Amino acid sequence: MARKKASETPADDEKKADDKAEETKADATPTNGGGAAAAAAAAAAAKPAGAAPRFQALAQYIKDLSVENPNSPESMRGGKQPKIDINVSVGVNPKAEGTNEVVLKLDAKAGSGKDMLFAVELAYAGLFRAENMTQEQTQVALMIEGPRLLFPFAREILANATRQAGFPPLMLDPVDFLALYRQRAAQAQAAQAAAS
């Protein structure tokens, strides 16, 4: 049985055990710099691969509003149900770096026979910023998500304009901007195919 020296205490034994553990740890660490590279790789793996895509509405505003009520007050008497034509279109205007203006155009015309009851043209716009998105993702966001965010406000303006013109408020049904985008893309492809 080994005898302890009189100068050794239990605290000295713990210190020796800690020193031995440190030596073992030091022996396991590569000396060619691989430890630093492995640590950097582990830190990179802990971080997200890239910043999340972000689509932000910065402002929204009426760009143009026109209301025509040429046959009033006779047109407000009522009668047979008028024929209402509604056209919806979306345009994008690039602005400063990373920002684009999305313009939602709503044109509504109501007529009875050959008489026009009213015509309302609204261009409602929003300024949007897209960050951490590819060009294709940005285009899709601008043509689908942008007008989807603007539509409820434009719909309310159109309803108020027709009400102020003396007619029942014109309440538009929701618009499928994805279908509108696909239709526009198909038309662009057809035009390109016809040109070649």
132 inside domain: yes
User: Is the pLDDT score of 37 beyond 80?
Assistant: no
The pLDDT assigned to 49 comes to 56
Q: Which pTM does this prediction carry?
A: 0.70
Counting Cβ atoms within 10 Å, is residue 153 exposed (0-12), middle (13-18) or buried (19+)?
middle
**Cα–Cα distance between 89 and 91 in angstroms, integer?**
7
Residue 86 belongs to a domain: yes
Least confident interval from 95-104, 107-116, 140-149, 168-177: 107-116
- 46 located within any domain: no
Asked if residue 166 belongs to a domain, the reply is: yes
Q: What is the pLDDT of residues 177-188, one digit of tens each?
A: 999 999 988 998
Q: What is the CATH number of the domain that holds 75?
A: 3.10.420.10
- Please answer whether residues 178 and 129 qualify as being in contact, where contact means their C-beta atoms are separated by less than 8 angstroms: no
Q: What is the mean pLDDT of residues 4-23?
A: 48
Tell me which residue range forms the domain holding 160.
60-195
3-class state of residue 24 by DSSP: helix
Whole-number pLDDT of residue 51: 85
Determine, yes or no, domain membership for 82.
Answer: yes
The 10s digit of each residue's pLDDT in 118-127 is 999 999 999 9
Backbone angles phi, psi at 32, to 5 degrees: -90, 15
DSSP state string for 137-184: HHHHIIIIIHHHHHHHHHHHHHHHHHHHTTS----PPP--HHHHHHHH
- Least trusted range by pLDDT, from 23-37, 78-92, 145-159: 23-37
Whether 35 maps to a domain, the answer reads no
Mean pLDDT estimate for the chain: 80
N-to-C CA span, the chain: 97
Model pLDDT, residue 42: 40
Three-state secondary-structure class, residue 48:
coil
3-state secondary structure of 126: strand
Count of domains in the chain? Answer: 1
Is the bond preceding residue 73 a cis peptide, omega within 30 degrees?
Answer: yes
Residue 52 in any domain: the answer is no
Q: Cα–Cα distance between 143 and 133 in angstroms, integer?
A: 14
The band of 77, judged by pLDDT with boundaries at 50, 70 and 90, is: confident
Q: How far apart are CA 162 and CA 89, in angstroms?
A: 20
The mean pLDDT of 166-195, rounded to a whole number, is 92
